[in-house]
Amino acid sequence: MRNRAIFRQKGVVLVISLIMLLAVTLMVVTASNIVQTNLKVVGNMESRDQVRFAAVSAIEEAISSSRFADNPSSIFTTSCGASNQLCFDSNSDGVTDITVAVSTPACVSVIPRKNVELDVYNFPDQATCFLPPGVYSMCAASVWEFSAVATDVVTGAEVTVRQGVSILTTLNNIDTACPV
């Protein structure tokens, strides 16, 4: 009687184990796909952050000197490809990885500074602006807007960064680019 019970099972354990094996296989494949997707997302975020860093770096280089106020169409001493464009080689292989095109800085406003607003004793550069006996000095506070579009050549990631800067400069320097 016991032998008959064994013969009546006819592979039920085999079918159940195959179903369990299929379920485990589906779980492993799904987990693998999720990991692959997460790796792509992290790679894209890394590319975007690297491109954003290059754009901010280009703008910082542009505003580190007053060259943009003197000649807004040529703000970098050395450009690559076109005027107001920088190239970055992020992995030091000698090939451009990121290009950053900085648009011509736009002068938003100019506010002439009065002689009484200048601190000529503590800031020697402001002493050159002092123009006695008049009310207004030879300098103005000018506000400029920068916009940079950085593109990763390999991944195609693109970021646009905008930044404003206010500088004190002589009226002669900004007369053509930003009339009062």
44-83 tens-digit pLDDT: 888 889 999 999 999 999 888 878 877 778 888 888 888 8
Separation between Cα atoms, residue 54 and residue 93, nearest integer Å: 17
* 172 has a pLDDT exceeding 80: no
Which are the contacts of 172, defined by CB distance < 8 A and separation ≥ 6?
Answer: 138
Instruction: Pick the more confident residue, 114 or 1.
Output: 114
Inside any domain, residue 180:
no
Domain count, the chain: 1
> Does residue 18 belong to any structural domain of this protein?
yes
What confidence score (pLDDT) does residue 142 get? 86
Q: List C-alpha distances in Å: 11 to 2, 16, 78, 124, 165.
A: 17, 9, 78, 96, 79
- Residues present in the chain in total: 180
Q: Could you tell me the CA-to-CA distances from 86 to 29, 56, 74, 81 in Å, in that order?
A: 44, 12, 12, 8
Give the strand pairing for 106-114 and 85-88: unpaired
**pTM for the full predicted model:** 0.72
Asked whether residue 179 is assigned to any structural domain, the reply reads: no
Q: What is the mean pLDDT of residues 132-156?
A: 88
> pLDDT per residue over 1-41, tens digit each?
566 665 666 778 888 999 999 999 999 999 999 999 999 98
The pLDDT value given to residue 1:
53
Report whether pLDDT(171) > 60. yes
Mean pLDDT of 114-135: 82
Q: What is the extent of the structural domain holding 64? A: 2-174
In a domain, 138, yes or no: yes
In a domain, 143, yes or no: yes
